[in-house]
């Protein structure tokens, strides 16, 4: 079982995600700005800026995966900003893609989980994504 509170495990996951980004032509800058200031992706330059100053460092891998997802899905600022519904849809699609990245990481490393909740707990998945996990685990399970 993986434990992200173990710094080395968290670093391995982050390394996996950043290697994925690099292999897919995505650049990144890691910054330490205001506590919990949002990270962002910039589709025109295929660049993401990741704020590492978080109240819970275990949330960093999901934030990285989420920003990678926006770029892999070719989301534009217009997609996000055109309406509240489009913003929610865009973020939901990025969350879904990020979860698939985590599931692939588990497959590669032979990590198994009895429940979607345990998976969410271990990987510090935001509660807004629980319905996505519940549906996915129901389909494969």
All structural domains of the chain: 7-140 (1.10.10)
pLDDT digits (tens, 9 = 90+) for 37-84: 999 999 999 999 999 999 999 999 999 999 999 999 999 877 767 777
Neighbouring C-beta atoms of residue 26, cutoff 10 Å: 19
Show the tokens assigned to 107: 């497959």
Q: What is the pTM of this model?
A: 0.91
According to the model, what pLDDT value does residue 11 have?
A: 94
Of the listed ranges 13-22, 28-37, 61-70, the one predicted with least confidence: 28-37
Burial (CB < 10 A; 0-12, 13-18, 19+), residue 29, is: exposed
Angle (CA) 59-19-120 rounded to 5° is 30
């Amino acid at each position: 079982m993986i434990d992200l509170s173990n710094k080395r495990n968290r670093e391995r996951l982050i390394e996996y995600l950043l290697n994925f980004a690099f292999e897919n032509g995505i650049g990144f800058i890691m910054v330490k700005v205001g506590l919990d200031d949002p990270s962002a992706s910039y589709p025109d330059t295929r660049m993401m800026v990741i704020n590492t100053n978080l109240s819970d460092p275990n949330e960093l891998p999901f934030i990285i995966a989420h920003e990678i997802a926006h770029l892999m899905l070719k989301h534009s600022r217009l997609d996000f900003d055109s309406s509240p519904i489009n913003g929610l849809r865009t973020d939901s699609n990025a969350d879904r893609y990020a979860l698939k990245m985590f599931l692939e990481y588990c497959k590669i490393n032979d990590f198994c989980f009895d429940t979607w909740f345990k998976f969410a707990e271990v990987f510090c998945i935001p509660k807004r994504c629980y319905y996505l996990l519940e549906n996915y685990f129901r389909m494969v399970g």
